[in-house]
Structure 1
């Protein structure tokens, strides 16, 4: 059974979303022999798309939330119903021991993802970003020797 984690951009260009979804489906299909577990923090964009595709593929979804206030503070109203649906579909939901969302909480959540994963999929433009974001997560995975598959956006 393969365990695949995701990191990626919260905003995917609508003109690229179909191609990104197809690339993610391909990665998941090649990783699903013997079963599939997908790990996601359920952020809007790449994380949510990945989570939907894991479920579409019949995989097991596990969610790692960075903080106790993540939904209240970080989930935009237009995304709340999708967030709730995906969280409800998860086999496991781990909430990190941080009261408030912060770069520290995101880094800790990403460490949990990387510690459980056999592969990291990064929906990423290859550029540096904010602390605890996609670039940091990719760098941490590579430093730990975890395979990384980049899906360009």
Structure 2
């Protein structure tokens, strides 16, 4: 089972705690020997999901939207990003250089294409920019990839 992740970044510590629990619950029934997580490993749900997959004994595949992607992530996340990238069994690249909205959406399209199911840490609202979580969910739904939305009850961004 290949499970992809998309989700909102910049969540509060309280929401992070709840989302981490939801991710663990979503993975609980998966056989670690058959589990592959697909993630762009950005700060937030992407990295939390990747860590949860690896903790369970699953495999991680990373999708890199652009050559400059890491540079656009918060500096405090770089050590986690680097560690997760080193632990990835496969790395998929878009071939794009600039880390912009188009590259992020292209990376998400690759991620969805690799996934049997998509977990979406999503508040249900429209994307704040092209390639946001809502766009990735809509893309997955158009291509028949089942989406499981994970959002803490009552939480807001």
TM-score normalised by structure 1 residue count: 0.93
Can you list the C-alpha shifts for 1:88-146, whole angstroms capped at 9, x where unaligned? 11111122210111111111111111111110000111111111110000011111111
For the residues of structure 2 that align with 1:32 and 1:13, how far apart are their CA atoms? Answer: 31
For structure 2, the 5+ residue unaligned runs are 153-157
| Preserved CA contact (<8 Å) 1:11 1:46 | no
Structure 1 segment 1-16 matched on structure 2, within 5 A:
2-16=1-15
TM-score normalised by structure 2 residue count: 0.91
The Cα RMSD (Å) is 1.3
CA-CA distance at 1:148 after TM superposition: 0.4
For the residues of structure 2 that align with 1:82 and 1:12, how far apart are their CA atoms? Answer: 17
How many residue pairs end up in the alignment? 151
For structure 1, the 5+ residue unaligned runs are none
Question: 1:141: which partner in 2?
Answer: 140
Asked if 1:94 is matched to 2:92, the reply is: yes
| Preserved CA contact (<8 Å) 1:66 1:98 | yes
CA-CA distance at 1:34 after TM superposition: 5.1
Structure 1 segments (4+ residues) deviating >6 Å: none
For the residues of structure 1 that align with 2:144 and 2:134, how far apart are their CA atoms? Answer: 15
| Preserved CA contact (<8 Å) 2:53 2:60 | yes
| Preserved CA contact (<8 Å) 1:12 1:46 | no
